[in-house]
Amino acid sequence: MGGYKPAAGARLGWGSLFGCFGSSSHGRRKKAKGGGGKKKKSKQQKVAAAAGSSGSGRPRSLQSRMSFTELSLSGMVSPEDLSLSLVGSNLHVFTIAELRAVTRDFSMTNFIGEGGFGPVYKGYVDDKTKPGLAAQSVAVKLLDLEGGQGHTEWLTEVFFLGQLRHPHLVKLIGYCYEDEHRLLVYEFMTRVSLEKHLFKKYAASLPWSTRLKIAIGAAKGLAFLHEAEKPVIYRDFKTSNILLDSDYKAKLSDFGLAKDGPEDDETHVSTRVMGTQGYAAPEYIMTGHLTAKSDVYGFGVVLLELLSGRKAVDKSRPAREQSLVEWARPYLTDARRLDRVMDPALAGQYSSRAAHKAAAVAHQCVALNPKSRPHMSAVVDALEPLLALDDCIVGPFVYVAPPETITNGDEAAVGKGGSGRRGGRRRSSGEGAAAVVRPEE
């Protein structure tokens, strides 16, 4: 990385954005001239073959999805190519006019927020919008042509979420690929992102059990990606990409930086360094070698954020505390000092045993040696039992002071049977002064 220091929360490597997927496949597109008299397949036939349809109309199984490289073999992907490659995915292809209608012409009253991709609007669709479309609220995301993310990331998002289905991945309902317009239509997530709940100043603090539930759900989403028949490396795991439904069920979103995992005997995928400062694994930043263990590191950072209530990178803190991982690492395996890491907003309302075990998992995930990090399925197995550990809630501790000895003139109240007078007010003996001592902040 040299001397380059992006702003906290900023994605890395924007200068290389548009070449991040196609470079390795360009050389494979060119074939030797001649070909023994065989007819060249048309572009549509190549896409159909990659998609597994073979012209028969039978869609490929989502379990045996095509890779992004297979799609890129067809060269510049047209709307027709993309639609053909996603046969069987049940994605709806919307027109820009339809999406203007469902968002009231992208009215500011429907505006939800804005990220690196562009603005997001709430909308409502039903079978009047598209035949067979269930009535539901949706989130419509527009590609900002002036923004840092471009057509390649939009295409990647459609491609991966169009073929992958899991309870802990946000559901892509459809897309719009019309002229210069690039839009995505998702299920609407009522409670927006985890980032807003953890770090917004006026948001109510998430209780311990909810934090664990979110961590487990996100871990299941990553485990599914890593253990698919054709593994996927998510590459941008962070709190703003974890969306929450009305029951705080976590779902991974924003697959613009996702990559197909290593194939055959390969140990990693070589790629330009892209991601978000504070979440990217150190070996990936140094070498550009991407593996599933890079995602595990990012998960460990998010788990630390859930435990501590602190951001992965926080420039407003003292220098030694600005990097959450570097600051927290020494405390994570020390039961006597773990309370320094735990979020004061929890007010001690958590199982100490569960906190220690969760901290140990986080410590493993952010290990400097990627081989020391666990697989995400092992992380799920370690975290799920912690939801049941509710018998050792660490309190706010209530200290009851012993009865005061108060001298007022010639009268003293000491121990049992006495009475005291202070400032003209009487208090029965034995009534302690209760002081609430909260965990150190």
Distance from C-alpha of 411 to C-alpha of 60, rounded to nearest angstrom: 92
- Active-site residues: which are they? 236
Cβ neighbours, 10 Å, residue 174: 24
Handedness of CA 281, 378, 339, 329 (dihedral sign): negative
pLDDT reported for residue 52: 43
pTM confidence score: 0.74
Whose tokens are 């890395």? That residue is 12
Distance from C-alpha of 114 to C-alpha of 171, rounded to nearest angstrom: 19
Q: Which helix (H) or strand (E) holds 138?
A: strand 136-142
352 appears as a binding residue in the annotation: no
67 appears as a binding residue in the annotation: no
pLDDT reported for residue 147: 61
Q: For the chain, which residues score pLDDT lower than 50?
A: 1-9, 13-63, 73-74, 397-399, 405-441
How far, CA to CA in Å, does 120 sit from each of 117, 375, 401, 432?
9, 34, 56, 57
DSSP secondary structure, 348-401, as one string = T-SBHHHHHHHHHHHHHHT-SSGGGSPPHHHHHHHHGGGGG--SSB---EEEEP
Task: Tell me the Ramachandran region of residue 393: left when phi exceeds 0, alpha when psi lies from -120 to 50, beta otherwise.
Answer: beta
| Token pair belonging to 63 | 């379990």
pLDDT reported for residue 216: 98
pLDDT reported for residue 36: 47
pLDDT reported for residue 333: 93
pLDDT reported for residue 122: 97
| Token pair belonging to 120 | 């997001």
116 appears as a binding residue in the annotation: yes
274 appears as a binding residue in the annotation: no
| Token pair belonging to 58 | 């039978």
- Of 432, 435, 436, nearest to 415 by C-alpha is 432
46 Cβ neighbours under 8 A, 6+ residues apart = 73, 74
193 appears as a binding residue in the annotation: yes
Task: Tell me the Ramachandran region of residue 278: left when phi exceeds 0, alpha when psi lies from -120 to 50, beta otherwise.
Answer: left
Domains, in order of start, for the chain? 69-187 (3.30.200.20), 192-388 (1.10.510.10)
